Structure 1
Amino acid sequence: MHIPVMLNEVIHVINIIPSGTYIDATFGGGGHTKKILSKLNSQGQIIVIDRDPLAIKIASNLQDPRIKVIHGNFSSITQYAKKYNLIGKVNGILFDFGISSFQIDDKNRGFSFLQDGPLDMRMNNMHGISAADWINRAKLSEIYFVLKNFGEERYAKKIAQAIIENKKRKLITKTSELSSIICNTCGIYYQKNKHPARRSFQAIRIHINNELKEIKETLKQILTLLKENGRIVFISFHSLEDRIIKNFINYNSKIQIHPHNLPILESQIQKKFPVKLKKFKKIKPSQQEISNNLRSKSAILRFVEKI
């Protein structure tokens, strides 16, 4: 069962207008969407997007006339908004960058380092290459780059070397095989209660699904979708995602700084580079929520309002 992270906080900060238009760009198990729907009247609507076929099946089963379901990547959000004539008309957009419980708990999806299954990790397992295909083709330098940059793994070089040596003897096709290689390589260096494979699995998943590029491409577009006073809510689960979001918010919520004595008036600077967003303090899950849903522990919620 999927438990939506910081559900009450999301509903509070997205500031729902009953007749408004909203986009849940990462539908997942649908928990946030269902709560938003409960606050909308018959004129309200919500566009839901997900690339996972199972998430789309869940969304389609809701059978609510206020929902429009889109199977695709959220980086095409402008294209979807144009289809429904929503440019500049959206009251709120939600991004929850975590993977859903049904993805983690299904051993056949290959996301979990705790269960044995095919090493896949694709959000949409009908497109792209699996983690197994990539890892068995990749060179040492490629594996090292992914583990170091997307997992911030301190033992990236050791793990990459171990993967290369192991796949010379036998192709790596199972999650248990990859997890064992990592544990055997650096398990003794890890702190208690922190699984040695956690960061490496995260890194490979991010790489296979192009997750950081998807976020960056989306951030270039979303401000044009919002109405004045419309809000965007972001929930991120690791520092790489949060850094991208924080930089985007800071850039669009500050007056642009220009060199001293530049022959241009401050009013001209503000006209050319207007402040576009009002930012608010980040929110973290309560201890009560963490107790009820341990997967929420690393979540950070940031939200902004279009000026």
Structure 2
Amino acid sequence: MTAPALQHITVLLDEAVDALLADATGRGDGLWIDATFGRGGHSRRMLSRLPPGARLLAFDKDPEAIQEAARIQDARFSIRHAGFRELADLSPQSAAGVLLDLGISSPQIDSPERGFSFRFDGPLDMRMDTTRGQSVAEWLADAPVDQISEVIREYGEERFAGPIAKAIVARRQERGPLVRTAELADLVAGAVKTREAGQNPATRTFQALRIFINAELEELQQALEACLQVLEPGGRLVVISFHSLEDRIVKQFIALHSRQVFDRRAPFAPPRAMQLEALARVRPSAAEVAANPRSRSAIMRVARRTEA
């Protein structure tokens, strides 16, 4: 199948920027962070609304995103070729707001050479940062069956993780390692006995391998902890997630830090003050989903750093 023209439609564009900048009065000349630049939709909208004295710092691991960012000619803007876990390198309480737009962009999905999609044949890569790290093909070439099964089950919530893992290893032993996305998609289709209506049988497996090879959930947890440190009092955190594993981490993180914590070992000690205030949970409108079906699973959560 031929890949379509690459185009990215930013999900929850206005809602995210509105939520991030809602408390910007009095702090508009501060530092704002787009921790997942992607193709720059949120960054460009933020720059259109931030005052001349503000600064916008973006992060992204994808070299193609860095190339796209070079097109922004605005002295207030800068970008780092790094994952958002490196928010931890910023000074404490230095940011007025942080935006995390998780998942992958349409150009990444629709570029066969990136290996993210089961719809287009390409090299079995899936790395967000193609300049470093191990590709999915390289990992599958040596990984034991139990580890493959665990990854597909935990990160893809796939019922047939065991049969899929066994099929991958059997194929490896018989004809050599998988190197193409079409090979993997066909193999998974043969191992999955029942299919969800409207969903390709390879969907969950591809999701799982992408999340694993990029350590996405571990990096998300580290980034959230970093956000708690870099946000100044009153600063806002906005996170857009696209599947339940991500959203569960975000939801639980905000909930944990939105309440006082008592130390059971020291019952008379004062509790640790709440550090976040949960503000909103937002889903795309029906109109947005109709215009961009890839937005249908998005959930945006908004929180504010407390004054404590």
Give the aligned partner of residue 234 of structure 1.
Answer: 239
Shift of 1:89: 2.6
The answer to whether the 8 Å contact 1:24/1:48 transfers is yes
- Cα deviation, residue 283, structure 1: 0.9
Q: Match of 2:288, as an amino acid?
A: E
1:73 paired to 2:83: yes
Matches within 5 A, 1:277-292: 277-292=276-291
Shift of 1:220: 2.1
CA contact (8 A) 2:232 2:305 kept: yes
Distance (whole Å) between structure 2 residues aligned to residue 215 and residue 173 of structure 1: 28
Q: 1:69: how far off? A: 1.1
Q: Specify the code of the residue in structure 1 equivalent to 2:46.
A: I
- Which of 39, 45, 53 is the aligned partner of 1:29? 39
2:132 aligned partner, one-letter code? H
Q: How does 1:17-166 map to 2 (within 5 A)?
A: 17=24, 18-79=28-89, 81-82=90-91, 87-166=92-171
Q: How many Å separate the matches in 2 of 1:151 and 1:124?
A: 21
CA–CA separation in structure 2 for the residues paired with 1:88 and 1:29: 27
- The SS at the match of 2:232 is strand
Unaligned runs of at least 5 residues, structure 1: none
Counterpart in the other structure of 2:4: none
Structure 1 runs of 4+ off > 4 angstroms?
257-260
Q: 1:301 maps to which residue?
A: 300
Q: How does the TM-score come out when normalised to structure 1? A: 0.93
Q: TM-score if structure 2 supplies the norm length?
A: 0.92
- 8 Å CA contact 2:280–2:303 kept in 1: the answer is no
Counterpart of 1:5 in structure 2: which amino acid?
V
Partner Cα separation in structure 1 for residue 97 and residue 70 of structure 2: 21
Moved more, 96-105 or 164-173: 164-173
Work out whether 1:209 is the aligned partner of 2:210. Answer: no
Q: 2:244 aligned with 1:243, yes or no?
A: no
Aligned identity (percent) is 39
- Residues in 1 aligned to 2:264 and 2:143: alpha-carbon distance in whole angstroms: 45
Structure-1 residue corresponding to 2:273: 274
| Alignment coverage as a number of residue pairs | 295
2:188 aligned partner, one-letter code: I
Q: Which ranges in structure 2 are unaligned for 5 or more consecutive residues?
A: 1-6
Query: Distance in 1 between the 2:270 and 2:14 partners?
Result: 39
Which digits, 9 at most, give the CA deviation of each residue in 1:267-294, with x for residues without a partner? x423xx0111110231111111111111
Which deviations, in whole Å up to 9, do the C-alpha atoms of 1:246-271 show, x marking residues without a partner? Answer: 111011001224559x651xxx423x
SS at match of 1:221: helix
Q: Is the contact between residue 20 and residue 40 of structure 1 (CA under 8 Å) also seen in structure 2?
A: no
Contact 1:172–1:178 under 8 Å retained in 2: yes
Aligned to 2:3: none
Residue 238 of structure 1 and its aligned partner are, at CA, apart by: 1.0
| Residue 61 of structure 1: how far off its partner (Å) | 1.6
Report the aligned-residue RMSD. 1.4
